Amino acid sequence: MCGKLCTAVFLFIATMPVYAVAQTAEKKSAIDDVVKHCVDVVHNFPADQMDVKFFKKFDAFYNSASSQVENNSYLNGDLPPLYQFKKCMAMQGFPLK
């Protein structure tokens, strides 16, 4: 009785998860690339001699389980590298909270 309409609805429903997974994978890849770029920007930032160790040790990654970008900053000296990282992420179109 439903014929072509049922087939179209079934195909739409059947392809939704595949599209969602592909879209999620693309998003994760894009975020990973931007995070890596911004970590490199922080590592190469022209910091003064006293702060350079904080810039060189800075690291970050995208955690797909929590959908958040995590970083290793926990000391006061980590604030300038974290600021540069967040600035870079925002300039690349991925502003962080």
**Residue 63, pLDDT above cutoff 90:** yes
Name the residue with tokens 């980590």. Answer: 78
- Rounded mean pLDDT of 37-65? 95
Looking at residue 2, its pLDDT comes to 60
Mean pLDDT, all residues of the chain: 82
Average pLDDT over residues 70-77: 90
pLDDT tens digits along 75-96:
888 999 999 999 999 999 999 9
Secondary structure of 12-58 in HEC code, one letter for each residue: HHHHHHHHHHHHHHHHHHHHHHHHHHHHHHHHCCCCCCCCHHHHHHC
φ, ψ for residue 2 (rounded to 5)? -90, -25
SS3 89: helix
CB of 75 closer than 8 Å to CB of 54:
yes
Give the residue extent of every domain in the chain.
Answer: 28-91
Please state, in angstroms and rounded to a whole number, the distance separating the CA atoms of residues 34 and 56: 18
Question: For the chain, how are helix, strand and coil distributed in percent, rounded to 5?
Answer: 65, 10, 25
Local confidence band at 97 (pLDDT 50, 70, 90 cut-offs): confident
